[in-house]
A and B are shown apart, each in its own frame.
Chain A
Amino acid sequence: MVTTTPPVTEKNRSRRARSAARPGDRIFSGLSKGSGITLLVIMAAIAVFLTYRAVLAISKDEANFFTTFEWNPAGSPPVFGIAVLAYGTIVSSVIAMVIAVPVAIGIALFISHYAPRKLAKPLAYVVDLLAAVPSIIYGLWGAIFLVPYLDGLNQWLDQYLGWTYIFDKSADGVARNLFTVGILLAIMILPIITNVTREVFLQAPKMHEEAALALGATRWEVIRMAVLPFGRSGIISASMLGLGRALGETMAVAVVLSPSFLLSGHLLDPGGGTFAQNIAAKFNEANEFGRDALIASGLVLFVITLLVNGAARMIIARRKEYSGANA
């Protein structure tokens, strides 16, 4: 083989590097190519299956799939719509993000820049452990522990912030509402946001930080001028990962929420629903058509997640100059 190799010119060298002449290279390249294609095929198969079942269901829906406030595919005529689910999913996720992102950034900064080493490591492990707790456990904890405790907070919010409309508690009931779900989701998405943000903060160029310190900046000024701008795209990516989890969280929401097919801006009233929660609650007893309808609602969630991820990518792409690759 070596003897047949043509003289090494600039052109040949580059071709040889590309065409992977050795068997090991060829096998590995084939394997990785195969894996990539398999993944695409699996995804395509899932997408085709979901779309097919969803189309079957929606074509028999007697009401507008996007604007109906009802879910009754077993009725005659079948009537179901996702308006309430889409609203509940987005609202609960937004509440979760509003609470979780600042807290997660705070924890990440504390671990990476403030805490003594002895405290930072265990704290980081504990945050990671939060991610290992199964969501049904969060749900049970939420329903048994969190809900009774949040009743007081709900009443307080109603009393002092009732004028904001969203914190006006118009119906009596315990705290099985979208607000509680948002708090629970915030706790659940905390570890992933914290973890990724912390990693990004740790990668902030030491030179910048030291230079700032040398100029007499305080630690907070260092963080504000060197760490946060550098980590911005990382924070956004981490938040999107968290948002993805919040959008799709199933069991915890199903256990905590008191769903109803009503659209209400009063966050403290029991009611609302999310895509994943609705699927969990209706799947067991649904007949085949009912399951198709649930799959159709799942597809909508899939599309929403896709849009969110696309938006995040666009934001990150605009801020490329700060991304870790260029540092």
Chain B
Amino acid sequence: MKLSRKNGLRASAIGALVVSGALVLSACGSDNNNEPTKGGGEKTSAAASNIKCDGAKGQLLAAGSSAQKNAMDLWVKNFQAACEGVEVNYQAIGSGGGITKFNQGQVAFAGSDSALKDEEVAESKKICKGGTGVNLPMVGGPIAIGYKLEGVDNLVLDAPTLAKIFDNKITKWNDPAIAKLNPGAKLPDSTIQAFHRSDESGTTQNLGKYLSTAAPADWKHDPKTKSWPAQGGQAANGSSGVATAVKDAEGSIGYFELSYATANKISTVSINTGASAPVAATTENASKAIAAAKVKGTGSDVALSLDYATKAEGAYPLVLVTYEIACDKGNKAETLPTLKAFLNYAISEEGQKVLADADYAPMPAEIAAKVRAIVPTLS
């Protein structure tokens, strides 16, 4: 009995090994599918030759927002290809986790979907000797409203309608408010399945800020919360979860970064902002909206105040800007050269250009120029 049990253990161990091996391999496979494929490998490696390494060496640790993970992956790949012996390790653990790690001194910089709060700035003074943590906007991107509705290709919605849909006040696809915005579309008499994020997220927060700015009468929830504030609706875990759910369920609508819509071939909503034509969710249109932002940070801080209610032609108002957060003074001496070289590349023209390949929006020229001037002054 005992003997046979031992054999059984061994056999199941081997079996487990085979299965987990297969899982590991298949995991690799799916990763590749997610990677943006629009940008050719040649283009990025050609750009890599212009990267200035400036004494970068060793390991650079960073953590934070998962919204900018794909952008970070591209940058890290190009930067490591250009600078020998440098390893940049960005853990996409979420903005809150990234800021916590940064304020504990565990990482050289943090990625965050929202600028540092006052108490976080105060806390950062402990780590940044003689300075504070500053927000450097480097990645922008449209938050796409994805939907699945048989026979409707170009859905147009505006902020009040979106707010009512996500607040369960509009529950049918053939609601007069939707029909008015989509003359001629064959809207079915079916229930709208509105999906939101089940985890806390900067994406949710940005959608909330947009809805409460552009449709204050219809979205009365706390705009600062990172968890879903409204009652009802359905939820899924992470942007990938929402995208999968929207892809699967007929009559569904949800929000996620544009790259998820592209990867899953999900149709996206054009937003009627009050401009002459509805604006589609594209990286170019997002850049135009970010250009309307005001810089509210002072000194080396470039925290932005986005204009969600913009009516500028072709500006897609539902955008997300993610920051890199580093110390203006008092960065760790051993990682400072690497930090500066990496951020320098990220905000450089090539660094910003590759963003569009991953469905992110490059920073508009004025803001990029401002950040470009600040990165070399970090100390």
Contacts and interface: CB of A to CB of B under 8 A. Distances in A.
A285 B205 CA distance: 11
A143 B232 CA distance: 20
Give the dominant DSSP class at B's interface: mixed
Interface stretch (B10-18, B300-308, B363-371): B10-18
Contacts of B227: 71-72, 282, 285
B100 A287 contact: yes
A171 B198 CA distance: 18
What class of interface size applies to chain B in its complex with A?
Answer: 35 or more
A176 B238 CA distance: 15
A147 interface: yes
Contacts of A281: 198-200, 237
A299 interface: no
Contact of A174 (B12, B94, B226, B249): B249
Nearest to B204: A285
A12 B170 CA distance: 87
B171 to A, nearest CB: 8
A72 to B, nearest CB: 7
A286 B200 CA distance: 8
Interface in A92-143: 121, 124-125, 128-129, 132-134, 137, 143
B336 to A, nearest CB: 27
A309 interface: no
A133 to B, nearest CB: 7
A281 B200 CA distance: 6
Interface string A261-298: 01000000010000000001111111110100000000
A176 B234 contact: yes
B236 A258 contact: yes
B223 interface: no
A185 B185 CA distance: 43
B293 to A, nearest CB: 23
A230 B95 CA distance: 55
Contact of A285 (B15, B193, B201, B233): B201
B213 interface: no
A38 to B, nearest CB: 27
Contacts, number: 105
B93 A284 contact: yes
Contact of B198 (A72, A172, A259): A259
Contacts of A148: 248
Contacts of A270: 234-235
B97 A125 contact: no
Contacts of A71: 227
A29 interface: no
A218 interface: no
B194 to A, nearest CB: 9
Contact of A132 (B12, B233, B245): B12
B295 interface: no
Contacts of B225: 72, 74-75
Nearest to A259: B198
Given A129-B12, A284-B94, A143 B19 contact: no
Contacts of B231: 260, 262
Contacts of B245: 143, 174, 176
Contacts of A72: 225, 227
B153 interface: no
Contact of B19 (A129, A173, A259, A286): A129
Contacts of A255: 237, 241
Given A71-B227, A257-B198, A284 B248 contact: no
Nearest to B103: A288
B8 A125 contact: yes
A244 B245 CA distance: 29
Contact of B193 (A124, A129, A144, A172): A172
11 contacts: A125-B12, A144-B244, A254-B237, A258-B195, A258-B235, A260-B232, A284-B97, A285-B97, A285-B201, A286-B200, A287-B96
Interface of B: 8, 11-12, 15-16, 19-20, 23, 93-97, 100, 191, 193, 195, 198-202, 222, 225-227, 231-237, 241, 244-245, 248-249
Q: Nearest 4 A-B pairs (CB), nearest first? A: A284-B94, A285-B200, A132-B16, A285-B96
